Amino acid sequence: MSKHKDRKRAETKQAPAQGSPRQEVERLIRKGWFKDAVKQAKLCYRNESTPENHHLLERAYFLRAQQLHREAMPTSAVEVTQHLLEFGVTDPDLPSQLVPLLLAVGLSNAAMAMGERLESPEDRARLILSAADQAVLDPKRAPASLTEIREGSALIRGALETLDAGDEAGALDRLRSIARSSPFADWRYFVRGLAALRRRDDEQVAANWGRLDTGRAAARIAQTLGSLIEKPTTPTLPATATAAAPNLKAIEAAVFGEPLIPQLEQLQQCLNDDRWDDAIPLLIQLRFSLRRIDPRLAERLTRILLWPLIDQAAQTSSRAARQLVGSFVKAAEPLPIDPRWNRLRAIIAEGPHGDYEESEKFWYAYLEDLKTLPTLLSPEERQRAQALVWAHLAHEYAEAADPNFDDLFDDPPTSEDLEYAKKRTIECLEASLQADPTFLTGYNALIHTYEHWNQADRAEAAANRLLTAFPNHFETLLWLINRHFRQDQHDKAIPLIQRARVLKPLDEALRELEWSGHVALGRHHALKKRWDEGRAEFTLAEAVGSEQSKSYLYMARKAVFELKAGQADRAEEFIEAAQKLLVEPTPLWLAILIEGARYGLPKATLERFNPLWEAGLAKKGKSETAGALTDLLMIYLDAKVSYTGWNNHVHQVVGYLKRSSRVHFRRDDLINICTFLHHDSVKAKELLEKLAKRGLKNFPDYAGFPFMVAVMEFAKGPRKANLRQVRKDLEKALQLAQTSSNPRESQLIPTLKKLMSTIEAITSRQFSSPFGMPFPGFGGRGGFPQTFADMFAGIDMEPPYEMIDDDEGEDDVPLFGRRIDPGPSPAGPSQSPPKNQTTKKAKPKKKR
């Protein structure tokens, strides 16, 4: 049986060959198989190059190009038409049919050249009219050789734009120069009729549009507009959906040429029901229908379906996902940015059913695709697109390089896996910068990645590379300044500060930062016994113009410097000047003791000031002294500076405050005192509660007092804390902070918002128990913060831009308590590898 079928199949294939090759071409043309007809006609002409066979191949080319144009394949239609022109048109009957096709596919110049071969005057006149219509519809298709056509089309389009802007008189005035014999006379009548239509003058609409040539584009557009505004024939019919239905069908037929809306609605219903097997055949039909109208509509439909497709693929099995994607890419219109679907396949491969190897393969293929899109992307856009792909690959590898990434799986990654992922992360980031040296995100990601891996030196090198490409990148300048302060490299930090000040000359925080850098550098020179260089740095600090150059602390520093240099007379001058700035000198003696310890003064020298300091503490407490002492210690607390005698000084100041608790403190002094007592390293909570409540009563306009009171009340625990009062105090503090111009209060806003959210979550969980009050395990003590550390877990309370110092003289206090906000990290959060991954995708196949 099979042999019989094969023999019949062979006979069927050979049957057409029994006739002549020309007859085979004619048979293919009759069946509408124009592509095969072109191939057969080429063989026929190759075997026998006669004029008849030449005419036959010309006709096959023409019919194939005409078919491609009808099926909305303009690029292929142009290509086949150009093959016909290159082959040569010798058939005398073909030019009259070919000229309209040349105009339709956009080959206007070739159409005009072919029009010279038209023998009939009517055909030549029709060519000019068709060229005029094409130029109005698409100015890019206006023949370059006909200046009259290009100017006339511009005149008509200008009149339409003027009319659309509401200037009817201006639009009609632009048409006065168009004569009745002009090929644009029909368009003049069209614009006049359109103007009459806008003002609802039916008589003028009929008078102008009734004169249009029914075979031209203007008449077809006018007919479509007339059908769209046609009124229902039954005047008594109410204005309901039933009355509007015939008009809706007319609109659909006029716009699409076929009923597409029901198909689109059916496709939407299939997607809503997750019936992709039914949606794919509909997509095939809609794709070609939309392409005939406008290829961009088919592309738009593809864009709409991409993310539903990705979601569906993630919810099915691996095999079903592959089948679904394979069917989709065959049915949908490819996007210009992803012509071979490699980008889509790469995204799918990153889902639950893929792995790094598969997705990386598709991303590499997509990088090759980007090289073949010269008309879609400019060279700069192509470079940026490649850089984005490399950065995305780097982000994927950065996730795999996190040892916590696979903590939900049985087999954690090995050290070799992590090292390979780190290596590939850096290689991909470097590739992104090689593809586009101006890719700022790549530099930022490189900095952030090295920071995350605690490779500070490499992060610094990456930041310097960023500044080479972007010399005025403010956030990176601040990042490097911070880095140099931490590394005791103030000589490197100061030039960067000066560059930042050029970018923001009115930024007072930068002024203070430069001042701090010079003062810190002066101390480092003193530690190395470079006295002249140290004094020069103090002179430069004073030239910056900071108000801190007039403070007692600055005088104390200069005095300690001179004591270190052995210039006691100069030191006494600065000590005397500093005493004049204070109500009593007790804060000065503390400042000299602190800076003396940091400058490494001999013990004998410091012994001179210890009795003065202790005698000052024994005096009756004063508001000014208490405020100055706590402000001084907060400078070093904020900067996390430690030195010999630190704990003793804190203990002594707390004792002084306890003895002075009944003093009537001034507003600013009480703020300094409570801020100091509120610090975690200071253990005086009872005193803080007493003074904070006094501040809340005496100075209700400061946001810090209700904030501190709320924190202390909340810290009492679930059984004693008045949560309603806590929330009330926090709301009051937030309101004051948002309306205050004081930077110290403004810095509380993020903390207040986070704390209020935390309390809201805790209280809602706490009282959600069906037993009314919380119990252990149900939001009671087991889940209630018992300490300040528990309460502020997850809430960033640190200064946004801190400088760290220690007793070895490695760093220095930059702003003496004046904090600045450097803005976000130059790397930003977008490329951050996750520290705690809670939602996992499928375990990737690890590479070694």
Out of 199-213, 241-255, 392-406, pick the least confident. Answer: 241-255
- Please name the amino acid found at residue 764: S
What distance in Å separates the CA atoms of residue 820 and residue 741, rounded to the nearest whole number?
15
| 502 or 847, greater pLDDT | 502
Mean pLDDT of 117-139: 74
Q: Residues 471-484: pLDDT tens digits?
A: 999 999 999 999 99
What distance in Å separates the CA atoms of residue 466 and residue 141, rounded to the nearest whole number?
46
Long-range contacts from 677-682, C-beta under 8 angstroms, 24+ separation: 677/630, 678/708, 678/711, 679/634, 679/637, 680/788, 680/789, 681/637, 681/650, 682/650, 682/654
Q: Residues 205-223: pLDDT tens digits?
A: 888 888 888 878 888 888 8
Measure Cα distances from 747 to 310, 695, 703, 819 in Å.
43, 19, 10, 10
Mean pLDDT of 607-623: 93
* Contact (Cβ atoms closer than 8 angstroms) between residue 208 and residue 218: no
Is the pLDDT score of 560 beyond 80? yes
Stated as kind and residue range, the H or E segment containing 137 is helix 121-137
Q: How far, rounded to the nearest angstrom, does the alpha carbon of residue 726 sit from its chain's CA centroid?
A: 38
What distance in Å separates the CA atoms of residue 277 and residue 603, rounded to the nearest whole number?
88
Is the pLDDT score of 410 beyond 60? no
CA dihedral for 686, 687, 691, 692, sign (positive or negative): negative
Q: What is the largest CA-CA distance in the chain?
A: 127
Is the pLDDT score of 9 beyond 70? no
pLDDT at 354: 67
What distance in Å separates the CA atoms of residue 30 and residue 41, rounded to the nearest whole number?
14
Structure-token pair, residue 385? 């697109």
Mean pLDDT of the chain: 79
Mean pLDDT of 114-134: 73
pLDDT at 117: 67
Measure Cα distances from 541 to 380, 465, 524, 528 in Å.
45, 30, 14, 19
Write the burial class of residue 34 (CB in 10 Å: 0-12 exposed, 13-18 middle, 19+ buried).
buried
What distance in Å separates the CA atoms of residue 818 and residue 423, rounded to the nearest whole number?
41
Mean pLDDT of 483-493: 90
CA dihedral for 94, 97, 99, 102, sign (positive or negative): negative
What distance in Å separates the CA atoms of residue 204 and residue 521, rounded to the nearest whole number?
88
> Domain residue spans in the chain?
245-333
Contacts of 104 (CB under 8 A, 6+ apart): 69, 134
Structure-token pair, residue 804? 């760290």
Is the pLDDT score of 289 beyond 60? yes
pLDDT at 832: 38
Q: By C-alpha distance, which of 700, 695, 626, 706 is closest to 658?
A: 626
Q: Residues 677-687: pLDDT tens digits?
A: 989 889 888 99
- Tally of CA atoms within 13 A in the half-sphere of 420 that contains its CB: 10
Mean pLDDT of 445-468: 94
Is the pLDDT score of 227 beyond 60? yes
What distance in Å separates the CA atoms of residue 371 and residue 385, rounded to the nearest whole number?
10
Mean pLDDT of 518-534: 93
Out of 26-40, 105-119, 492-506, 796-810, pick the least confident. Answer: 796-810
pLDDT at 314: 87
At residue 86, φ and ψ (nearest 5 deg) are -65, -35
| 72 or 51, greater pLDDT | 51
* Contact (Cβ atoms closer than 8 angstroms) between residue 644 and residue 687: no
Out of 538-547, 708-717, 767-776, pick the least confident. Answer: 767-776
Q: Residues 319-342: pLDDT tens digits?
A: 888 899 999 999 999 998 999 999
Q: What CA dihedral angle connects 207, 209, 213 and 217, to 10 degrees?
A: 170
Structure-token pair, residue 736? 């004051």
Percent of the chain with pLDDT over 90: 35
CB atoms within 10 A of CB 680: 11
Which residues is 335 bridged to in the sheet? 338
3-state secondary structure of 423: helix
Give the residue ranges of DSSP H helices in 412-551. 415-435, 440-452, 456-469, 474-486, 490-503, 508-527, 531-544
Q: Residues 743-778: pLDDT tens digits?
A: 888 888 888 888 888 777 766 655 444 434 333 333
Q: How would you label 449-480 residue by residue, b for 16+ Cβ within 10 Å and e otherwise?
A: bbbbbeeeeebbebbebbbeeeeebbbbbbbb
Measure Cα distances from 717 to 196, 712, 713, 783, 795 in Å.
79, 10, 8, 11, 19
Is the pLDDT score of 705 beyond 50? yes
Q: By C-alpha distance, which of 104, 33, 99 is closest to 64?
A: 33
Out of 68-77, 264-273, 418-427, pick the least confident. Answer: 68-77
Is the pLDDT score of 153 beyond 90? no
| 676 or 46, greater pLDDT | 676
